[in-house]
Chain A
Amino acid sequence: MELLLNPVVISLVKVLVIILLFVMVVGTVLTLMERKWMSAVQDRIGPNRANIGSFRGRGTLHIAADGLKSIFKEDTVPEGANRFVFTIAPFFGFFSAIVIWAVIPFAGPLGGFTFQITDVNIGMLLVFAVTSLGVYGTVLAGWSSNNKFAVLGAARGTSQMLSYEIFLGLSLVGLFMIVGSVRVSDLVAYQNTYWFGDVLPKWGVLTQPVSCVLFFVAMLAEAKRLPFDAPEGESEIIAGYFLEYSGMRYAAFMLAEYVAIVGIGALTVTLFFGGYHVPWLHADGFHLLGAVLPLPAWLVVLLQLGAFIGKVLFFCWLVIILRWTVPRFRFDQIMALGWKRLLPVCLANVAVTALVLLAVDGWQ
């Protein structure tokens, strides 16, 4: 019992539960859902042939089929490749997609227990640092493959991710100025305060609408999702940086991509859509226009958990539907959009936010 209540053990359990039971599960299911949803958008049926006997489960078995196939495929290393770098590259991409979950809160605290792996005071800065590492997976995989298409993909990926990294950070500066903290729990707690008494929640999307769009765009570019998937660009450079990979290493890249989608959802929800908060739901129940509906603490936590997961799934859906809505930008258009349009908008957003804050709080 002593051992079980050890904070290290509790953190480890949280890590395992969050990563294995939520992140990996949603990421894996998304690999199938992407194909099913795309076919729905395109008026097709989608994969439904994998079967055990006569059981098909509307295509759900394809998840298992993909996994089995990846495991049993030959793991090839191309001639002339840098074997060591080639081998470790997939883990960089995976690492950055996974580690951001360390600071994402899933629900409000219940007693002394937090539904968050760790609430470090550098919060979002840790997220920035870790997502920046993701570029190593791209560049190392592309460079070590000894393949010109892979190098092209890596070059595109590197310059794109570095460019969008800049206003990924800048887009959130306005939010940090308003809240006055980069700690994730502060950012989330601020979004459960209200305007006009207790009517309108101060969700990030309402306090910082421009930076919400910018952040979402930057995250799409970071995760190399359409319309910013030039690094992979199937029609131009086959698969881009992970072109030479096969078997489980290839699956690691694919899975990292889908885990990154869940990450986009979680970060957008946490920063701009109230995190785990249900509007007007406080720790002791609903408060609206002076009326109070008290709820037990466990029910509040359950509602918050459901709200968070629901919101994240919605954004996963949005990211995937966006892929089938917008065409790919040409590479020079991506760079022009980033540096010439979005970066100035970002800076203007920071300046305007600063001026408004000054006007509201007064010249101290």
Chain B
Amino acid sequence: MVKVKTVRRESGLAVELFLPAIWDGLKLTAYHFWRNIFGKRDVVTIQYPEEHRRVSPRYRGRHRLTVREDGFIKCVACYMCEQICPAHCIHIEAGEVEDKSVEKYPVVFDIDELRCVYCGLCVEACPKDAIRMDTGIIALAFTDRDRFDYTRDMLRDAYHENEKTKFRAIPAPVTEEEALPRSRGVLPGAPA
């Protein structure tokens, strides 16, 4: 049994004239015009390089290496993330550290962000919560392949501009005020 939905078509002089419909349409367009030109601007545009769309806190963006309260990197160079990485984009070289409760730390911790598939397995594998992907940085774009090679200090929290990356090309976080809430896993403006 085929079901047919019958749509009632309006007919009559008012429809044939088009004018009432055009008048209704004009009211709508003029209202939007008035509101956006003279009234409270209510536009959906995101002015991209200056403004960013809010991403979910769970969004897997560029990696970062978290730090302890004393500022030392949390990573103990256990190679878990390097082992599990399906794209083989993480390269770690361990070094010894005086603090016997830690024993090891990464002398080199490189991530090739061009090779990374952003699967998040490294974050899952980490026993120390040392690597996260919650920076909210979703658009890495450079004109030079070398600049996608992120070193340990570039991935570290509260990292600031250095000669290699020229932070301008990377979207937020740019300032420390912006970077710090993100380093606690909270995006500014995100629902708690």
Q: Which residues of A contact B (CB under 8 A)?
A: 37, 39-45, 213, 321-322, 324-326, 341
Q: Can you report 21 A-B residue pairs in the complex whose CB atoms are below 8 A from each other?
A: A37-B37, A40-B37, A41-B32, A41-B33, A41-B36, A42-B32, A43-B32, A44-B43, A44-B45, A45-B43, A45-B45, A45-B47, A321-B26, A321-B29, A321-B33, A322-B22, A324-B29, A325-B28, A326-B22, A326-B25, A341-B16
Q: Complex: how many Å from CA A21 to CA B36? A: 29
Asked if B26 and A325 make an inter-chain contact with CB atoms under 8 angstroms apart, the answer reads yes
* A37-B33, A213-B19, A321-B30 as given contacts; A43 in contact with B25, CB under 8 Å: no
Alpha-carbon distance A43/B33, docked complex (angstroms):
8
Q: Taking A40-B33, A40-B37, A213-B19 as contacts, is the C-beta distance between A322 and B26 under 8 angstroms?
A: yes
Q: Tell me the count of chain B residues lying within 8 A, CB to CB, of chain A.
A: 17
Residue pair B36, A43 in contact (C-beta under 8 Å): yes
Q: Which residue of B lies closest to A213 (CB)?
A: B19
Which B residues form the contact surface with A (CB < 8 A)? 16, 19, 22, 25-26, 28-30, 32-33, 36-37, 42-45, 47
Cα–Cα distance between A326 and B23 once the two chains are bound (Å): 10
Cα-based distance from A42 to B76 in the complex (angstroms) = 54
| A213–B33 CA distance with the chains assembled, in angstroms | 23
Residues of B within 8 A of A326 (CB): 22, 25
Complexed CA–CA distance, A230 and B25 (Å): 20
The residue among B19, B36, B45 with the most chain A CB atoms within 10 A of its own CB is B36
Give the A-B pair count, Cβ closer than 8 A. 41
Contact of A43 among B19, B22, B30, B44 (CB under 8 A): B44
Contacts of B42 in A (CB 8 A): 43
Does A43 lie within 8 Å of B29, measured CB to CB? no
In the assembled complex, how far is the CB of residue A256 from the closest CB belonging to chain B, in whole angstroms?
A: 25
B79: min CB distance to chain A, Å: 47
In the assembled complex, how far is the CB of residue B42 from the closest CB belonging to chain A, in whole angstroms? 6
In the complex, chain B residues whose CB is within 8 Å of the CB of A321: 26, 29-30, 33
Task: Determine whether the beta carbon of B26 is less than 8 Å from that of A40.
Answer: no
Expressed in whole angstroms, the Cα–Cα distance for A207 and B113 within the complex equals 74
Given the complex, which residues of B lie within 8 Å of A213, measured CB to CB? 19
Nearest A residue to B44 via CB reads A43
Residues from chain A with a CB closer than 8 A to the CB of B36 are 39-41, 43
- Give the residue name and chain of the A residue nearest to B16 (CB): A341
Rounded to whole angstroms, the CA-CA distance of A258 and B118 in the bound complex is: 50
Q: Within the assembled complex, what's the spacing in Å between the Cα atoms of A322 and B36?
A: 17
Alpha-carbon gap, A39 to B26, bound state (A) = 15
Excluding A43-B42, A321-B30, 17 further A-B contacts by CB distance (< 8 Å) are: A39-B43, A39-B45, A40-B36, A40-B37, A41-B32, A42-B32, A43-B32, A43-B36, A43-B43, A44-B43, A45-B45, A321-B29, A321-B33, A322-B22, A322-B26, A325-B25, A325-B26
Complex-state Cα separation, A139 to B37, whole angstroms: 38
Min C-beta distance of B130 to chain A, whole Å: 41
Chain A residues whose CB sits within 8 angstroms of the CB of B32 once the complex forms: 40-43
A323 closest partner in B (C-beta): B29
- Which of B22, B29, B42 has the most chain A CB within a 10 Å cutoff? B29
CA distance A341 to B28 in the complex (A): 27
CA of A40 to CA of B33, assembled, Å = 5
Is A325 in contact with B19, judged by CB distance below 8 angstroms? no
Minimum CB–CB distance for A226 against chain B, Å: 11
- Distance, CA A321 to CA B45, complexed state (A): 20
Q: Which B-chain residue is minimally distant from A317 (CB atoms)? A: B33
Question: Given the complex of chains A and B, what is the CA–CA distance between A254 and B30 in angstroms?
Answer: 24
A41 lies within 8 A of B19 (CB):
no
Chain A residues within 8 Å of B25, by CB: 325-326
The interface residues of chain B lying within 8 Å CB-to-CB of A39 are: 36, 43, 45
What is the bound-complex CA distance between A98 and B50, given in angstroms?
43
Smallest Cβ distance from B53 to chain A, in angstroms?
15
